[in-house]
Amino acid sequence: MTTETTDTTDRVEITPRLAVHQFAPEGYRAVLALEKYVASKVDHVVFELLKLRASMLNGCSFCVDMHSRDAAAAGEDTRRLFAVAAWREAPFFTRRERAALALTDAVTRLGEHGVPDDVWEEAAAVWSEEELANLILAIGTINLWNRIAITTHTPPPLTV
């Protein structure tokens, strides 16, 4: 039996472009404050799932790494975490989680026609108006974090 090792000499070096928190500290703190607000208002499990899903859709390696590790550390089942990439075909999610994931997809991929009525109607059927407002803020917040991390080439840590 052979054991494979990861050869770290062939990894691509990601060079960060800019530390936003250093050059726009007030704005960065404002985004952190919004993150803190939505974290206190949105169900923790749903919040981690929607952050992971939006980060996957946006291709944000820093955020995918962080949110998958955070969710696993909080006790989330790894099968569910992996299944977020294909949530529509996975049987692991509740109706409310599925509605939140569909809304996350629609808001993250926001096209010229906005959020489709069927996605909105399903979300509105299982989430109150206050919950929907907070979900929209949470989805918007993770999309902003993704855009900051991707634009500035923020890499995930190689070790944790």
Q: What is the band of 8 on the pLDDT scale with cuts at 50, 70, 90?
A: low
Question: Looking at the predicted structure, is the pLDDT value of residue 1 above 60?
Answer: no
Name the residue type at position 9: T
Average pLDDT over residues 44-50: 96
Average pLDDT over residues 93-122: 97
Contact 104, 12 (CB under 8 A): no
- pLDDT of amino acid 11: 74
- pLDDT of amino acid 159: 75
Q: What is the pLDDT of residues 51-102, one digit of tens each?
A: 999 999 999 999 999 999 999 999 999 999 999 999 999 999 999 999 999 9
CATH of region 23-151: 1.20.1290.10
DSSP character at residue 2: -
Higher pLDDT, residue 55 or 3: 55
Q: Sign of the C-alpha dihedral, residues 22, 20, 140, 98? A: negative
Average pLDDT over residues 39-58: 97
Question: Looking at the predicted structure, is the pLDDT value of residue 137 above 50?
Answer: yes
Cα 148 from Cα 30, distance rounded (Å): 14
Higher pLDDT, residue 159 or 8: 159
Q: Sign of the C-alpha dihedral, residues 92, 95, 100, 104? A: positive
> What are the structural domain ranges in the chain?
23-151
Average per-residue pLDDT in the chain?
93
- pLDDT of amino acid 9: 67
Burial class (CB in 10 A: 0-12, 13-18, 19+), 146: buried
